């Protein structure tokens, strides 16, 4: 993405090269020849917005102290890039991945170079085996029916979607770029 000018960058990620709905959940692949170096992933029920990621982070903050420490540590690491991406005012434990400033002109919600993806994928493998153990702490301390990411299912869906992204990116040797919409 760094080699694509900023205006065409948005078109490359969201433009006419795709034959699907921008907000349809899951992976989308360009229909243009030679564009197999990137894909687009739409998270469930986010409608292209990064706000549900922040809301999931708020929900996690309300419940994390009630989660078994070993599980809490791995969710903190896995979710850091999804919820906070190293924000200084975040109260959760960070991933420990090195911060790297983005050198190109873009409004990014996150970016992870290819060498940072394998740890994320490994943390997802651990998180997904404990996902159901997060249900009760979420219901007891973070649920807000009718609110954004107010039910455990929407929280779990967001984590699962992020797991899908990091798993596929690792498989392909890709980095991850999150563009703000």
Query: 29-75: per-residue pLDDT in tens?
Result: 877 777 778 888 888 888 777 788 889 999 999 999 999 999 999 99
Looking at the predicted structure, is the pLDDT value of residue 152 above 70? yes
Alpha-carbon 152 to chain mean position = 17
pLDDT of residue 11: 52
| Residue 167 CA neighbour count, 13 Å, CB half | 13
pLDDT in tens, 160-178: 999 999 999 999 999 887 7
- Out of 8-22, 97-111, 133-147, the most confident range is 133-147
Confidence of residue 103 (pLDDT cuts 50, 70, 90): low
C-alpha to C-alpha distance for 177 and 108, rounded to whole angstroms = 7
Alpha-carbon 170 to chain mean position = 14
- Cβ-proximal residues to 155 (8 Å cutoff; 6+ apart), any chain: 56, 59, 60, 134, 138, 142, 149
Looking at the predicted structure, is the pLDDT value of residue 143 above 90? yes
pLDDT of residue 90: 41
β-pairing verdict for 108-112 and 39-42: unpaired
pLDDT of residue 73: 93
Give the lowest-confidence range in 1-15, 73-87, 131-145, 155-169.
1-15
- Cβ-proximal residues to 111 (8 Å cutoff; 6+ apart), any chain: 100, 102, 175, 176, 177, 178
* Better pLDDT: 67 or 12: 67
pLDDT of residue 20: 54
The secondary structure element, H or E, covering residue 122 is helix 117-130
* Better pLDDT: 10 or 44: 44
Q: What is the DSSP letter of 80?
A: I
Using an 8 Å Cβ cutoff, are 92 and 60 in contact? yes
């Amino acid at each position: 993405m760094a080699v694509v000018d900023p205006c065409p960058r948005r078109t490359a990620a969201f433009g006419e090269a795709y034959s699907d709905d921008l907000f349809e959940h899951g992976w989308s692949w360009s229909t243009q020849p030679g564009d197999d170096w990137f894909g687009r992933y739409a998270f469930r029920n986010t409608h292209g917005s990064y706000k549900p990621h922040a809301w999931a982070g708020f929900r996690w903050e309300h419940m994390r102290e009630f989660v078994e420490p070993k599980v809490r540590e791995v969710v903190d690491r896995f979710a850091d890039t999804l919820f906070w991406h190293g924000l200084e005012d975040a109260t959760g434990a960070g991933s420990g991945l090195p911060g790297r400033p983005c050198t190109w002109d873009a409004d990014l919600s996150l970016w992870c170079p290819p060498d940072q993806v394998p740890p994320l994928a490994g943390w997802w493998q651990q998180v997904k085996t404990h996902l159901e153990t997060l249900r009760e702490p979420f219901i007891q301390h973070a649920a807000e029916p009718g609110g954004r990411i107010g039910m455990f299912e929407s929280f779990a869906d967001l984590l699962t979607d992020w797991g899908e992204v990091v798993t596929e990116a690792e498989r392909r040797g890709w980095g991850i770029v999150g563009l703000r919409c």
